[in-house]
Amino acid sequence: MRLIILGPPGAGKGSQATFIKEKYNIVHISTGDIFREHLRNETELGKQAQVYMNKGQLVPDELTIELVKDRLSQDDVKDGFLLDGFPRNLDQAAALTDFLKSRNEDLDAVVNLNVDKASLVDRITGRRMCKDCKASFHIKNYPPKVEGVCDHCGGELYQREDDKEETVLKRIGVYEAETAPLIDYYNQFGLVLNIDGNQPLEEVSDQIFRGLDNLK
C-alpha cells in the first residue's frame, strides 16, 4: 500500500501515521527523518541541504525531491510506504507522480485529516514541555498535577515558540496556501480519503482503517 497523509499543523498526522504503519506493516517516511539521516551520514545530498539549513532557509524543492526519490528507491519500501510531510506543494506532487510512473507504481490513497482551525489552535497552543526532561503535557487534554510543574522530574514547564498562537496561525496559513491545493490535485485521480480529524484519536484511526480496507 502506497499512501500519503495530509493535514494542517495539529491535525494529528504523527499519531495516525504510527497507527497506519503498524496496522499495514508499511514504512513511515517523514521528510524530517530523511534530512536527519542524510546529515548524520554526511551524504552529498545531506551536505547540500545543510547549506540551506545553516542559513535558516527552506531546502529547495529540487533537492527535497531528490532526497525523497532516493528514500523511495530503497528496498524496505517495496511493500509499501506512508509519506508524511511530502509533498508540500504542487511541484513536489507532480514530481512524485512522475517518479512513481517511471517505476510503474501508483499511489493507493491520500489520507486527508480535516480539523477546524479553532481546534487546531487549541491543540497546539495548549502544549507545554518540560525544560529538563522534555516531557510533554497539554493544559486541557493532559494537564500536569501541579500547574507549570513536570509530573516526572519537577522541572519547569514552558510553551515553545512554535506553539504560540501567532506562530501557529502563520503555520496554518502556509499550509492553506501551499499544501491544501494538493487536495484538488489528488481528487482528480480519485485518491483522497477525507477523514474527520475532530473526533477522538481512536475514532479517527478507525475511520481511516475502514476507508483503507475498502480499497483492497
CA dist 200 and 193 (Å) reads 18
At 87, list the grid cell: 509533498
Annotated active-site residue 171? The verdict is yes
Cα 179 to Cα 186: distance, rounded to the nearest angstrom:
11
CA–CA separation, 162 vs 188, rounded Å?
A: 34
Measured CA to CA, the distance from residue 173 to residue 179 in angstroms comes to 10
In the block, which residue shows the cell 506543494? Answer: 89
Active-site residue, selected from the candidate residues 21, 88, 123, 128:
88
Is-catalytic flag, 160? yes
- What φ, ψ does residue 147 adopt, rounded to 5°? -55, 130
CA torsion angle 66 72 74 80 (round to 10): 180
Q: Per the residue annotation, which of 36, 160, 164, 210 is the catalytic one?
A: 160
- For 18, residues 6+ apart whose C-beta sits below 8 A from its C-beta are 28
Q: Which of 13, 21, 71, 123 is catalytic?
A: 13
- Asked if 52 and 60 touch (Cβ cutoff 8 Å), the reply is yes
Catalytic one of 71, 123, 127, 128 = 127
Contact 127, 136 (CB under 8 A): yes
DSSP tag of 156: B
Q: Is 13 a catalytic residue?
A: yes
Residue 71 annotated in active site: no
Active site residue 103: no
Amino acid at position 211, single letter: G
User: Which are the catalytic amino acids?
Assistant: 13, 88, 127, 160, 171
